Structure 1
């Protein structure tokens, strides 16, 4: 499914080693309109295998799990099902692992004490191609990407972003969602989505955070 459409259910996989939490989340999400839970797993290895066979649109993935950590599972699931959007489940948004998860391709994170309405909304948001990154975390990630930025810049020939695409990318880098970006630039949400899709296609990247990481490395953003 390339574009999430309102008449198509978002296929969700829940991966968490706490059985009560996992079962409860599965049950609650199952009754949400437009969401179809296609499986649940209790560890990262089982979760990766299930993802490969069920091809979910969104994976809710616990950061801390036995056998294979959430970070390892995140990488493995992205390799097995590149189109899957991964939301990390965590008890704290201060965990260093979350940076690793986002850098490994996760679309963002969700606190475990979130309401079911927040979880369902998060699933719909990432299925729609947006990130679940708080502005404070976006700032930390950008700082980290700047540290990683090497002096020798690897240029990919022929990649040119328009001024408007650069504007959108700068706003994405601050943790803003499509609606906020649309408001800032006085354009429609649909136009923002098209710009983000074009940016990812031009840069041959899979997620908004990967685009930000690339932009920082290539010094495309006016960061202090």
Structure 2
């Protein structure tokens, strides 16, 4: 039986040695090389063509492992990469998965969990781990909420009159009511009534709330083109 060939990448020798000892106990696995930086990982992946890479994230820089994984997956897509790191930050996890890695394990995982993860990756059966599943669910909720908010705001904008839309754009440019009245050559009472209409259509209490909502959804640029 051909053993599973592994490349271990970590800038801490103690961690590399631990993984080497863990793998050496398995008859169907072989550590064919080690690396201590993302740069070296890319070189040794090309040289040795491992089946699986156990990759740390923070090495010569904070995201060295992610940068290396991206390069390896681009040029050697058949190599499966497991991130083995101390990081649990949502942004780092999503950045890692965007490179095409197959699994993400915390370094405190037991030897048996690491071995199980290696075999699962080799058999294309890597699970979505609870920690990852929760973060993915939260991200979907965030995206869904943002999409719903965006659709709501777009509907509200479409209900505005031409004059109200012009005033909204000026409010987004931090213009005061007095300045808006002067720019539009109208009385301040007219501007006040139109702002009241805008707030009613958005169902919001004040102009600051409206502007903050538009800013959060990043549609200022859209408004500028209208």
Candidates 38, 43, 58, aligned match of 1:64: 58
Aligned CA RMSD, in angstroms, stands at 2.4
Residue 46 in structure 1 maps to residue 40 in structure 2: yes
**d(CA) in 1 for partners of 2:32 and 2:131?**
33
Alignment partner, residue 81 of structure 1: 76
Count matched residues.
Answer: 145
Q: Between the two structures, name the one with larger relative contact order (CA 8 Å, sep ≥ 6).
A: 1
Which stretch shows the higher mean deviation, 34-43 or 129-138? 129-138
Deviations 1:8-28 (A, max 9, x none): 211111000001111221132
Residue 31 in structure 1 maps to residue 25 in structure 2: yes
Q: Would you say the 8 A contact 2:90–2:135 is kept in 1?
A: no
- Structure 2 unaligned residues grouped into runs of 5+: 148-226
Deviations 1:197-219 (A, max 9, x none): xxxxxxxxxxxxxxxxxxxxxxx
The alignment's TM-score, normalised by the length of structure 2, stands at 0.58
Specify the SS of the correspondent of 2:84. Answer: strand
Following superposition, the deviation at residue 134 of structure 1 comes to 1.4
Structure showing greater radius of gyration is 2
**d(CA) in 2 for partners of 1:32 and 1:83?**
22
**d(CA) in 1 for partners of 2:131 and 2:110?**
21
Following superposition, the deviation at residue 139 of structure 1 comes to 4.2
- Where has structure 1 moved over 4 Å in runs of 4 or more? none
Q: Considering fraction of residues, name the structure with more helix.
A: 2
